[in-house]
Amino acid sequence: MQVPNFLIMLGNRRNLIFRVSIVFNIAVLLYAAMHYSGNSAPGVDWVPITSEGLERTAELRYLKEDVRNETMVRFAEFGPRVAESTSQKVVPSTMSTVKKTVSSTASDVDKKISAAPSEVNIVNETLDVYDESVLSETTLTLLRQLLGCNDKDFLPETLQRGEFWVLKNYVRANHGAIACHESITYTTHGGFEFLDNLLPLVERWMAPVSLAIHAPGSDMMPTVNSIRYLRDCVGNDLILQYVTFHIFFSNKHIPSTIPVPEDFLKTSYNCSEPPPYIVNSSSTYKQQKNLLYPINVGRNIARGSALTHFVLPSDIELYPSPDLVPKFLNMIARNEAPLSTSSKPRVFPISIFEIAKNQNAPTTKSELQVMLRNKTAIPFHKYVCPTCHNIPHGKEWMTTLEGNQMEVFHVGKRQGKFVHWEPIFIGTNQDPFYDERLSWEGKQDKMTQGYVLCVKDYEFMILNNAFLVHKPGIKYYTKNVKRDKIGSRQSAYVRNVIHPELKKLYGVKSGCVL
Ligand X SMILES: *[C@@H]1O[C@H](CO)[C@@H](O)[C@H](O)[C@H]1NC(C)=O
Q: Using CB under 6 A as the criterion, which residues of the chain lie in contact with ligand X when the complex forms?
A: 43, 65, 69, 123-124, 126, 270, 272-273, 280, 282, 370-371, 374, 376
Specify the residue, 70 or 457, whose C-beta has the smaller distance to ligand X.
70
- Secondary structure (3-state) at 75: helix
Strand 425-428, strand 310-313: pairing: antiparallel
DSSP one-letter string for 481-510: HHHHHHHHHHHHHIIIIIHHHHHHHH---T
DSSP code of 79? H
Specify the residue, 23 or 371, whose C-beta has the smaller distance to ligand X.
371
Q: Which residues contact 337 (CB under 8 A, 6 or more apart)?
A: none
- Kindly state the smallest distance separating residue 495's Cβ from ligand X, in Å: 35
- Kindly state the smallest distance separating residue 471's Cβ from ligand X, in Å: 16
- Kindly state the smallest distance separating residue 450's Cβ from ligand X, in Å: 33
- Kindly state the smallest distance separating residue 344's Cβ from ligand X, in Å: 28
Q: Are residues 443 and 436 in contact, defined by beta-carbon separation less than 8 angstroms?
A: no
Tell me how long the chain is.
Answer: 514
Which DSSP helix (H) or strand (E) runs through 71? helix 68-75
- Kindly state the smallest distance separating residue 71's Cβ from ligand X, in Å: 11
Specify the residue, 138 or 491, whose C-beta has the smaller distance to ligand X.
138
Specify the residue, 108 or 422, whose C-beta has the smaller distance to ligand X.
108
- Kindly state the smallest distance separating residue 370's Cβ from ligand X, in Å: 4
- Kindly state the smallest distance separating residue 472's Cβ from ligand X, in Å: 12
SS3 letters across 122-168: CCCCCCCCCCCCCCCHHHHHHHHHHHCCCCCCCCCEEEEECCEEEEE
Q: Which residues contact 20 (CB under 8 A, 6 or more apart)?
A: 116, 117, 118, 119, 141
Closest by Cα among 146, 150, 71, 74 to 112: 71
Specify the residue, 269 or 348, whose C-beta has the smaller distance to ligand X.
269
Specify the residue, 59 or 436, whose C-beta has the smaller distance to ligand X.
59
- Sequence letter at residue 255: P
Specify the residue, 276 or 432, whose C-beta has the smaller distance to ligand X.
276
Specify the residue, 77 or 273, whose C-beta has the smaller distance to ligand X.
273
- Which residues is 250 bridged to in the sheet? 164
- Kindly state the smallest distance separating residue 274's Cβ from ligand X, in Å: 8
